[in-house]
Chain A
Amino acid sequence: MLLSQNASAMRPLNVYLVAYISLVFGALQAFPEDFCIFRMTLRNFRVILSWELENHSIVPTHYTLWYTIMSRPEDMKVVKDCTEVTGSFCDLTDVWESMPETYVPRVVAFRGNTTLVSCTSRESIFPAIKMSLEPPNFEIVGFTDHIKVIVKFPPVIPKILRGEGLHVYLSLVIEEVSGGIIKKHKPKINAKTITGNFTYVIDNLIPNTNHCVSVYFEPSDPGKIIESPTKCTLLKPGQESESSESAKIGGLITMFLIVVVFISTIVILQHTGYICLRNEFPKVLNFYNFSAWVFAELPPLEAVALLEVIHVKRKKKVWDYNYDDESDSDNEAAPQKNAGGYTMHGLTGRPLCPASGSSATMEDCCDPDAEEADLPTPEAECESLMAPGSGPWQPECTSEADEGRGTRLEDHFSEEDGSSVEGSGDRIIFNVDLNSVLVRVLDDNSEVPPELSLPEDSTELQDPSEMETNLLVASGGGTQPSFPMECLWPEDSPSETSDTSESDADIRDGYITR
């Protein structure tokens, strides 16, 4: 019963509602159409649609806003919060939420209960392009050399501004003006950072100067920029800048002192020899000499000759050298290089140079075979008396064989050492007691075995000139015995030997007896 009564009451109500909507909708079609100028604005992050009748003669008292979209065939929708509003604007923040959508608004103007006009937009509203972006509220705080800009954003961003790609359609610009120079700062904003207050710092500013700041949104259509009012501030001068200058000066002085101390320390260490030691090595220690690398064998540090002094207390002694021609040839051909630990090369001072105080036979000196063990120097002979480096020089008294030997000797030297001791200035000095020694020059062609003859009285037999000539002068490394006596043998060699009859033979054999 009750339900039936209610149902009966609802029926006329529904009828009245339908009739009203039909009348309104019909009015939209029936009433004169006019055009309104619609403006969509983002004001304080609120989507505001405002309108203005083109026909200013019509002065309505209130308005009702309708809209539809272009992407789907939908009917006009009334905005509930914008029904019979007295103002010519409407907050559509929660109504128009899609940026890519195209909206078609319509406003019905009333005067009292009379519908005056239904106006539409000449253009569809595409918010991404048509929405004007009013500048946000902001504050600035000036410091000495920087300004802090605080842009006020709402805690909740309108839905139409959410989503990616927002920065394309509206980009935030902070403009700083000082001394007629305009600088634009474009901090990137997105949906995450656009909530709450946004702080931006403009640094590297000149102290004690006036700076003005304005903040606005830059839409994709540059022609619709709405600039904000400029706010200016005078940066703090003086104390902080002076302190900074004094700090800079102090820093510079400190750095200067540090550099001075460092340099003085370096100089002191250098002078005391802790660093930067001299590297001027003596030539003998200069291993970086290229010629030394090329010629791998280093010159001998000293001329060393091992002498075996045979002190024989008999007049005559037949010294069996115990070598034959073959051994001679072999030895000559291949003398030992290192015998007794001595190097072969460089020591041209063949044991023609007896040591001081010791008796040595020239024969020993001359005979490489006998003295090979002790005198590992290359085979020595009259021809070997000449320096290896003296090369082609041949004593006049030598035979062809000797010359050959000399040649071989040279070759031997070159083979062995790879270096030739040149320089006639190098000599080996030995003190030779000529009273007790005999020197002998080897002669291959001589069939007579070499004999060692010792003078009984060396003083009597000694010829001073011979003594001088017999002396072997050695000096330093490199040996270049000077044996000018070689050429004197045939003529100048003394005949005052014990075997005078053999003097000639001796001479031929190369003996020098006293």
Chain B
Amino acid sequence: MINKHFFEIMLVLLATSTVFSLELKMVLFQQRRVNRESVKLLNKLPTSSMQQCLLHRKDFLLPQKSVNPHQYQKEHTLAILHEILQQIFNLFRANTSLDVWEENHMEKFLTELHQQLEYLEVLMGLQAEQKSGTLDSENLRLQVKMYFRRIHDYLENQEYSSCAWTIVQVEINRCLFFVFRLTGKLSKQEMDP
């Protein structure tokens, strides 16, 4: 005998998957906007600073394994994405040096970033039924936290100089590229499970 709640459960699952796929498309679309705004921001840097800041370069040791999309399941990918973008948002919101960039460009960048975070939080809410506190996921999030901790420390050591921000912006562009690759992988996982 068919459970009387079977159809209700099926409807909920279908709706969830539909909403999830739609949200993934928005996430992918929005990530493109975020990346574009980030690069625009970088291009607004004074041209002379690039050559002058070569001496201030630093390897922040981006965790390649964390941003490698071939290793994770969907829930891990969402967690990593959210952590990275949240850290980027906190980095620029808390330590905005308006001398380096124009305020409008920075606000637009933060706005796009915030929108992307909201999309990701919705997706993570849809995935709330699944276990989110797995050990692998926590380790990856920890690596991401340590990566951004190094960036914060660098800025402090460089006293938030313009070259330091230039170096950090370049690093964030590189990080966002991997984030975008993660987002693309997430969309493919949804379409071809």
Are A70 and B170 neighbours in the complex by a CB distance under 8 Å? Answer: yes
B181's contact among A120, A129, A165, by CB below 8 Å, is which? A165
Q: Nearest-CB distance from A130 to chain B (Å)?
A: 9
Residues of chain A within 8 A (CB-CB) of B171 are: 71
For residue A188, give the distance in angstroms from its CB to the closest CB of chain B.
Answer: 11
Question: Closest B-chain residue to A129, C-beta based?
Answer: B39
B74 interface residue per 8 A CB criterion: no
Per-residue CB contact flags for chain A residues 61-90 toward chain B (1 = under 8 Å, else 0) read 000000010111110000000000000000
Cβ-defined partner of B170 (8 Å) among A120, A122, A124: A124
Selected contact of A73 from candidates B59, B69, B185, CB within 8 Å: B59
Cross-chain contact B51 with A120 (CB below 8 angstroms): yes
Q: Which B residues from 30 to 52 make CB contacts under 8 A with A?
A: 32, 35-36, 39, 42-43, 47, 50-51
Which of A98-106, A272-280, A379-387 interfaces with chain B? A98-106
For chain B, what secondary structure do more than half of its interface residues adopt (helix, strand, loop), or is it mixed? helix
In chain A, what residue has the closest Cβ to B181? A165
Task: Give residues 80-132 of A contacting B (CB, 8 Å).
Answer: 99-102, 104, 120-124, 126, 128-129
A104 close to B50 (CB less than 8 A) = yes
Knowing A220-B32, A221-B36, say if A165 contacts B50 (CB, 8 Å).
no
Chain B residue nearest to A125 in the complex (CB): B50
Shortest C-beta distance, B16 to chain A (Å), equals 25
Q: Check: B145 CB closer than 8 A to any chain A CB.
A: no
Of A70, A120, A221, the residue contacting B57 (CB under 8 A) is: A70
B32→A164 contact, CB < 8 A = no
Closest Cβ neighbor of B67 among chain A residues: A100
A173 to chain B, nearest CB (A): 16
Contact A104 B54 (CB under 8 A): yes
Task: Give bound CA distance, A128 to B36, whole Å.
Answer: 10
Interface presence of B113 (CB below 8 A): no
- Cβ-neighbour of A168 out of B32, B178, B185 (below 8 A): B32
Q: Is the CB of A165 within 8 A of B51?
A: no
Interface string of A152-179 (1 = CB under 8 A from B): 0000000000011101100000000000
Contact A164 B69 (CB under 8 A): yes
Tell whether, in the assembled complex, residue B35 and residue A220 are in contact, meaning their CB atoms are under 8 Å apart: yes
Do A70 and B167 touch across chains, with their CB atoms under 8 A apart?
yes
Complex Cα distance, B39 from A129, in Å, reads: 7
Decide if B177 touches A100 in the complex (CB within 8 Å): yes
- The contact size tier of chain A is 20 to 34
The A254-303 residues at the B interface (CB cut-off 8 A) are none
Question: Is B149 part of the binding interface, using a Cβ–Cβ cutoff of 8 Å?
Answer: no
What distance in Å separates the Cβ of A452 from its nearest Cβ neighbour in chain B?
72
Interface assignment of B165: CB less than 8 Å from any CB of chain A: no
> Which residues of chain B come closer than 8 Å to A101, judged between CB atoms?
174
- Closest-CB distance, B182 to chain A (whole angstroms): 9
Shortest beta-carbon distance from A64 to chain B in Å: 18
Complex contacts, B183 vs chain A, CB 8 Å: 165
CB-contacts of B55-79 with A (<8 A) = 55, 57-59, 62, 69
Cβ–Cβ contact A104 & B51, under 8 A: yes
* Chain A residues closer than 8 Å to B36, beta-carbon distance: 220-221
Q: A411 to B38: give the CA distance in the assembly, Å.
A: 99
Check A123–B173 contact: CB distance below 8 A: no
Known: A164-B181, A165-B180. A126 touches B32 (CB 8 A): no
On whether the beta carbons of A99 and B177 are closer than 8 Å, the reply is: yes
Q: Which residues of A contact B42 (CB under 8 A)?
A: 124, 126
Distance to closest chain B CB from A469 (angstroms): 73
Whether A122 contacts B47 by the Cβ 8 Å rule is: yes
With contacts A68-B54, A126-B39 known, is A164 near B173, CB below 8 A?
no
* Docked complex: A6-45 residues within 8 A CB-CB of B: none
Contacts of A70 in B (CB 8 A): 50, 54, 57, 167, 170
With A102-B170, A165-B177 as contacts: A128 and B39 at CB distance below 8 Å: yes
Q: Nearest A residue to B48 by beta-carbon distance?
A: A122
Beta-carbon contacts of B163-193 to A below 8 Å, as 1s and 0s?
0000100110110011011011100100000
Among A74, A99, A128, chain B packs the most CB atoms within 10 A around the CB of A128
Q: Chain A residues with Cβ under 8 A from B55's Cβ?
A: 73
A126 contacts B173, C-beta separation under 8 Å: yes
Given A70-B167, A104-B50 in contact, is the A128-B177 Cβ separation under 8 Å?
A: yes
A167 and B59 CA atoms in complex are apart in Å by 28
Report B164 CB to chain A, min CB distance, Å.
13
With CB as the reference atom, state the residue of chain A lying closest to B179. A165
**Are B174 and A71 in contact, with the CB atoms below 8 A?**
yes
**B90-112 interface bits toward A, Cβ cutoff 8 Å, 1 = contact, 0 = none:** 00000000000000000000000
Tell me the A residues contacting B by CB distance below 8 Å.
68, 70-74, 99-102, 104, 120-124, 126, 128-129, 163-165, 167-168, 220-221
Per CB-CB distance, the 10 closest pairs between chain A and chain B, nearest first, are: A100-B177, A165-B181, A73-B57, A122-B47, A72-B59, A100-B174, A70-B170, A165-B184, A129-B39, A164-B184
Interface CB pairs A-B, < 8 A, 30: A68-B54, A70-B57, A70-B167, A71-B59, A71-B174, A72-B59, A73-B57, A73-B59, A74-B57, A99-B177, A104-B50, A104-B54, A122-B47, A122-B50, A123-B43, A124-B42, A124-B50, A126-B39, A126-B42, A126-B173, A129-B39, A129-B43, A163-B181, A164-B185, A167-B184, A168-B180, A220-B32, A220-B35, A220-B36, A221-B36
Task: Tell me the B residues contacting A by CB distance below 8 Å.
Answer: 32, 35-36, 39, 42-43, 47, 50-51, 54-55, 57-59, 62, 69, 167, 170-171, 173-174, 177-178, 180-181, 183-185, 188
| Extra A-B contacts (20), CB below 8 Å, given A100-B173, A104-B54, A164-B181 | A71-B57, A71-B62, A71-B170, A71-B171, A71-B174, A74-B57, A100-B174, A100-B177, A104-B50, A104-B51, A120-B51, A121-B50, A122-B47, A123-B50, A128-B35, A165-B183, A168-B32, A168-B180, A168-B184, A220-B36
